[in-house]
Amino acid sequence: MSVRSEARRHRHELGGVVAAYWDRPSPTTIAAFVGAWLLLSGLTFINPGETFLQAIAPTVAFALLIAVALLYIGNERLLVCERGLILGSFAPGMRPYVARYDQIVPGSLVPVTGARRYAKETEQRGLSFSTVRRSGWTRQGIHFVGPSPRDARRHRAKIGMVLDPPPLTFDGRWAWFAGTGTTQPQRVTATIAQAAGAAGAIQLAQATAAAPVRELSGNPVDAPQHLPGFPALPDLRGREARR
């Protein structure tokens, strides 16, 4: 799904696209994939085929497989629209998620750095392909509390529902995270605040504009302070015990 076609698909609900951010693979990640391709290709030449075509066929096949893998894991984007956000994978056959500004809890949308410590700090809470759009190379992004992934999906998905997490916040809502690529997350939240204000979501705009950058520490005790909406660790464990 291209950015333009997805933007057109949601234009009636969200308006036009104000800004777009691509959490593309880092040079280190691309180098690792290229290194894997060279290694696999080199192994095939230990016992190459009898003809030139047979000799290079495995190398071409490996290149195609690696290119497809990069296409699917490296197509996470965040679109800031006039009346909401579009986030998720824009790879072929994939559909991103939609969160209108009136579905985002005011005060929960904050810029985040140190995203590589996200899983450790949240103790895997919310580490889901549905609501946490974070890759191994993601260093920064935005966090917010918003709609359920089912409501945000805007299409039927049998497999996607398996990846949906339960509500994670203290008020029974869902925590979302989206990488912002090389763009500083505070610049992204400033853009969102401006768009939300123009759309009439004044409380969200004011709280988002005033939100300071949160650097994740990797300590689960700090999750409620760094990621608004996350319950305190003892409260979460007590809730699980009651289940």
Domain ranges (residues) in the chain: 3-24+74-242, 27-72
Q: What is the mean pLDDT of residues 150-158?
A: 75
Supply the pLDDT for residue 242: 43
Kindly report the average pLDDT of the chain as a whole number: 85
Does residue 157 carry a pLDDT above 80?
Answer: no
Q: Residue 108's pLDDT band (boundaries 50, 70, 90)?
A: very high
Q: Residue 111's pLDDT band (boundaries 50, 70, 90)?
A: very high
Supply the pLDDT for residue 106: 96
Q: Residue 129's pLDDT band (boundaries 50, 70, 90)?
A: low
CA angle 201, 207, 212 (to 5 degrees): 145
The rounded percent of the chain whose pLDDT value lies above 90 is 48
Instruction: Report helix angle 185-198 to 202-210, nearest 10.
Output: 160
> Do the Cβ atoms of 9 and 77 come closer than 8 Å?
no
Tell me the pLDDT tens digit for each residue of 11-52.
999 999 999 999 988 888 889 888 988 888 777 777 766 677
Beta bridge partners of 89: 76
Supply the pLDDT for residue 212: 96
How far from 15 is each of 191, 206, 221, CA to CA, in Å? 15, 21, 39
Lowest mean pLDDT among 3-17, 51-65, 170-184: 51-65
Tell me the pLDDT tens digit for each residue of 69-99.
888 888 899 999 999 999 998 888 888 999 9
Helix (H, G, I), strand (E, B) or coil at 112: strand
Pairing of strands 17-22, 132-133: unpaired
Residue with tokens 């103790």: 123
Residue 194, Cβ neighbours under 10 Å: how many? 16
Does residue 146 carry a pLDDT above 90?
Answer: yes
Supply the pLDDT for residue 239: 47
Supply the pLDDT for residue 46: 73
Supply the pLDDT for residue 118: 92
Kindly give, in sequence order, each residue whose CB lies less than 8 Å from that of residue 224, ignoring residues fewer than 6 positions away: 230, 231, 232
